């Protein structure tokens, strides 16, 4: 779990750097247009690629931290044991969705690679976008699998604690 936290923290920091790049490129583009009447070629391409890093790096970090939005309306009504089972079901369904999305995104990455698809201004290969998406989804899936395994362990030992509660998060 520690290595997953460290890896997801690295992705989040990379996402922070990508935000700085997006802001710098956008400010340079707007300033150039206002002061000199010239746009910075490739602004959209760079911002688009950086946004992939921000979103999917953040997704991996949120998965590792268990920081996704949780609706706990039923937890108080159904009791701790059923609440824990609902949390396990949520983790399992999240893992399933992440695995399917990773698989589909990998197919899109392969297609973009074989088709030679590129961005319009800088001709950045589109498969690089998809690699970022696949990496973020895969990291999110690994983090979710680790959290699911940690949540199942107490059930096997009959010591259920809900993985959705903030005090159980690392």
What residue segments make up the domains of the chain, in order of their start?
Answer: 2-168
Maximal C-alpha separation, the chain: 69
Integer Cα distance of 101 and 62 in angstroms: 17
Place of tokens 């920081």: 67
The C-alpha angle 84, 92, 100, rounded to 5 degrees, equals: 165
Residue 1: closest CA among 148, 133, 164, 161:
148
Per residue in 83-110, pLDDT (tens digit) is: 888 889 999 999 999 999 999 999 999 9
The C-alpha angle 116, 117, 121, rounded to 5 degrees, equals: 120
pTM score: 0.82
Per residue in 51-73, pLDDT (tens digit) is: 999 999 999 889 888 888 777 77
């Amino acid at each position: 779990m520690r290595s997953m936290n460290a890896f997801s923290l690295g992705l989040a920091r990379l996402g922070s750097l990508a935000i700085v790049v997006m802001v710098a490129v956008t400010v340079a583009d707007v300033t150039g247009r206002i002061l000199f009447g010239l746009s910075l070629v490739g602004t959209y391409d760079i911002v688009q690629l950086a946004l992939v890093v921000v979103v999917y790096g953040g997704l991996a970090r949120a998965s590792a931290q268990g920081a996704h939005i949780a609706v706990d309306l039923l937890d108080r009504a159904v009791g701790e044991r059923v609440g824990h089972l609902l949390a396990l079901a949520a983790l399992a369904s999240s893992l399933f969705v992440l695995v399917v999305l990773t698989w589909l995104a990998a197919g899109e990455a392969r297609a973009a690679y074989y088709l030679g698809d590129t961005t319009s201004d800088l001709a950045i290969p589109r498969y690089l976008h998809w690699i970022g998406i696949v990496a973020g989804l895969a990291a999110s899936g690994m983090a979710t699998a680790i959290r699911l395994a940690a949540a199942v362990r107490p059930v096997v030992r009959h010591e259920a604690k809900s993985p959705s509660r903030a005090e159980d998060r690392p």
